[in-house]
Amino acid sequence: MLKAKGLSAGYGRIQVLHGVELELKKGEVVALLGRNGAGKSTLLKTLIGLLPARSGEVLLEDRPITELPAYRRAQLGIGYVPEERRIFPELSVRENLELAARPGGPWTIERVYELFPRLAEIEHRSGGYLSGGEQQMLTLARTLVTNPRLLLLDEPTEGLAPILVKAIAETVAELKAQGMPILLAEQNLAFTAGLADRGYVLETGEVRLKGPMRELVKDPRVKELLAL
């Protein structure tokens, strides 16, 4: 579905990604592993188009989208859930959802309220007053209501209490069961182990290892790359 071919990107003079090759196929959850600063977020930003590619290509269903602005990529079905959550702090929970909602799929505001009942309870609360867990639910819900065809999910468990990590894992599993392709950036190997089908391990902006998840979890080199 989504492919990166020889993708390079960076900030100013610093090049972060060096010729990344990666693929996300229909219906699969793919883990993007790597320790702090490995380039996971940079890769996701380059895929959605918030960061320009310096070389290489991004393909969506074999169509090159490298030159398209981020909003066109989003309209074509790439759903991006940022690491920093980036809730609009001065808008209410409901407004955060309304501005993103796009018809053309199963996801409506009512439906994400069913998935995260907590959001319905606080729908009039201002985005700036949410807890970390609420922010994480809202950022995921906000991308879902755009009815994406695939998800780029950046460290959804970062800074969350174990009980919330479990809730997020259940949600991701549920989305997977519905056939949503997900590229899941994580440092947390345990979290991805039960969810992902395949994985890539990044180090200093290059893919060092890739393979089926059940092999990666046993591979001592993965633990080393993740500094576990």
> Which stretches of the chain bind another protein, using CB under 8 A?
48-50, 69-71, 74-75, 80, 82, 86, 88-91, 95, 98-100, 102, 128, 142-143, 146
Of 14, 163, 177, 227, the residue at the interface with ligand ATP (CB under 6 A) is 14
- Is residue 41 a contact residue for Mg ion (CB under 5 A)? yes
CA angle at 61 for the pair 60 and 67, rounded to the nearest 5°: 30
**Alpha-carbon span 168 to 174, nearest angstrom:** 10
- Select 88 or 125, whichever has its Cβ closest to another protein: 88
**Alpha-carbon span 170 to 37, nearest angstrom:** 27
Of 21, 23, 57, 83, the residue at the interface with ligand ATP (CB under 6 A) is 83
Q: Is the dihedral of CA 163, 165, 169, 172 positive or negative?
A: positive
191 binds, among another protein, ligand ATP, Mg ion, none (CB under 5 to 8 A by kind): none
Distance of closest approach, residue 34 Cβ to ligand ATP, in angstroms: 5
**Alpha-carbon span 175 to 208, nearest angstrom:** 28
- Is residue 37 a contact residue for ligand ATP (CB under 6 A)? yes
114 binds, among another protein, Mg ion, ligand ATP, none (CB under 5 to 8 A by kind): none
- Is residue 16 a contact residue for ligand ATP (CB under 6 A)? yes
Contact 32, 189 (CB under 8 A): no
Per the structure block, which two tokens stand in for 51?
A: 């960061």
Q: Which amino acid is at 128?
A: G
Contact 205, 55 (CB under 8 A): no
Distance of closest approach, residue 225 Cβ to another protein, in angstroms: 28
Binding site for ligand ATP (CB under 6 A): 11, 14, 16, 34, 36-42, 83, 155, 187
Binding site for Mg ion (CB under 5 A): 40-41, 83
